[in-house]
């Protein structure tokens, strides 16, 4: 059962997996009175997508302004009749970078990967959700298991919700302008997003303008200041040289560094490229655990039992260099303790520790695959013009 934490006048509730997230989200949608903004990478036509879609339609039919922004690649498979239902109910839907023709791939290859990876919801400017959970049924399929993806979101009630509202309005207006080629734009919302000046809770964005490195810098600052423990869970973990050095230096000065990473193969190239880093990290004394119960989809961290981040940003080149991301950073011992306890349960019950002896038994074939995969990722990032950002 989740606790409610008071941080700088905001009420924070940690939600683990879809079983906690979607009932709370739909209940808040049903209670909403004025407006709803929702951003997602994936909006899936499954039972969970139906649950959320129906709630959004109910809200629109009672004259709530409902605006849904979906990524043009991640949500590309949403059937046309689902969109028609939303439109007919009065839900406003826009696409972020709808997929373009393959014939224009070479000319647009860099822009094509600038995805909307944020998972944000704001209701009436008073309640917001930040995290890594897409609108998709989170129980694994074709794996002989009913265990959900391991993931987190945070429900925020308070002034931070107003800040998230300003951020989402701004992107909606920008996409409106881009989609309508400048013919229509809500100019009154194009000012700078309102920033809540709070010492212990911050909304961090990653975009390709003013906030290119905000999330990565927050991680690095927290790790550099760490004195006792750094615990990171990341679905896709392929940090650049600076990030790796910072983790290694923390371990060398006696900080316990724990990584909970993907144990099941979801995206082969990234999965095996991550393995290429294991020898270096293990040699530095960093603990590596691979989550086995289901797919790991979390993007969270706890440092020294007081600093926490929960959001959509993985620690890989695609999140740190290309996608639009949103993370919440919280400094609060109680909130940190709850997340840390949940990570420890996952590590003890559902993960396997990778130690040097275990890794050496993988054999030369596994090491070759890892190095080739890592080289392939470097090549892709290099072709896109970001080669210096990845070792």
Beta-bridged to residue 329, according to DSSP, are 202, 309
Active site annotation includes 299: yes
Q: What angle do CA 128, 131, 136 make, to 5 degrees?
A: 100
Q: In a 3-state reduction of DSSP, which class is residue 198?
A: coil
**Is 358 a residue of the active site?**
no
Exposed e or buried b per residue across 308-344, where buried means at least 16 C-beta atoms within 10 angstroms of its C-beta: bbbbbbbbbbbbbbbbbbbbbbbbbeebbbbbbebbe
Q: Is 211 a catalytic residue?
A: no
Instruction: Please state, in angstroms and rounded to a whole number, the distance separating the CA atoms of residues 98 and 83.
Output: 14
Clarify whether 81 is annotated catalytic: no
Catalytic residue among 46, 54, 124, 391: 124
CA 267 to chain centre: 16
> Pick the catalytic residue: 71, 299, 316, 332?
299
The catalytic position among 46, 207, 304, 391 is 304
Annotated catalytic, 202?
Answer: no
Catalytic residue among 119, 137, 202, 271: 119
**Can you spell out the DSSP letters for 40-90?**
ES-B-SSHHHHHHHHHHHHHHHTT-EEEEEEETTTTTTS-HHHHHHHHHHT
Q: Could you count the other beta carbons within 10 Å of the beta carbon of residue 20?
A: 19
Task: From the candidates 5, 117, 137, 202, give the one annotated as an active-site residue.
Answer: 117
Kindly state the tokens that stand for 279.
């020898």
Cα maximum dimension of the chain: 62
71 is known as an active-site residue: no
The catalytic residues are 117, 119, 124, 297, 299, 304
């Amino acid at each position: 059962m989740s606790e409610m934490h008071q941080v700088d006048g905001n009420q924070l509730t940690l939600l683990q997996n879809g079983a906690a997230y979607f009932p709370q989200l739909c209940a808040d949608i049903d209670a909403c009175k004025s407006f709803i903004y929702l951003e997602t990478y994936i909006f899936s036509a499954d039972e969970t997508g139906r649950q959320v879609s129906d709630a959004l339609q109910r809200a629109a039919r009672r004259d709530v302004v409902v605006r849904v922004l979906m990524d043009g690649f991640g949500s590309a498979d949403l059937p046309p009749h689902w969109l028609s239902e939303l439109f007919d109910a009065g839900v406003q839907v826009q696409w972020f970078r709808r997929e373009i023709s393959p014939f224009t791939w070479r000319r647009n290859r860099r822009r094509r990967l600038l995805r909307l990876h944020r998972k944000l919801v704001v209701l009436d400017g008073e309640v917001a959700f930040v995290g890594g959970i897409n609108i998709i049924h989170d129980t694994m399929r074709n794996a002989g298991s009913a265990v959900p993806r391991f993931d987190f979101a945070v429900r925020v009630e308070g002034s931070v919700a107003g800040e998230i509202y300003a951020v989402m309005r701004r992107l909606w207006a920008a996409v409106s302008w881009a989609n309508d080629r400048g013919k229509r734009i809500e100019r009154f919302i194009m000012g700078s997003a309102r920033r809540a000046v709070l010492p212990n809770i911050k909304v961090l964005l990653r975009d390709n303008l003013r906030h290119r490195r905000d999330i990565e810098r927050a991680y690095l600052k927290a790790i550099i200041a760490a004195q006792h423990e750094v615990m990171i869970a990341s679905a896709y973990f392929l940090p650049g040289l600076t990030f790796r050095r910072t983790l290694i230096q923390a371990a060398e000065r006696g900080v316990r560094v724990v990584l909970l990473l993907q144990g099941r193969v979801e995206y082969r190239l990234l999965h095996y490229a991550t393995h290429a880093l294991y020898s270096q990290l293990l040699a530095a004394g960093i603990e590596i655990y691979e989550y086995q119960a289901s797919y790991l989809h979390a993007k969270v961290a706890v440092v020294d039992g007081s600093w926490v981040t929960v959001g959509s940003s993985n620690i890989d080149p695609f999140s740190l260099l290309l996608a639009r991301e949103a993370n919440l950073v919280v400094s609060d011992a109680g909130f940190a303790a709850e997340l840390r306890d949940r990570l420890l349960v996952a590590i003890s019950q559902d993960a396997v520790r990778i130690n040097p002896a275990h890794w050496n038994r993988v054999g030369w074939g596994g090491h070759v695959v890892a190095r080739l995969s890592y080289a392939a990722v470097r090549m892709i990032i290099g072709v896109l013009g970001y080669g210096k950002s990845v070792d």
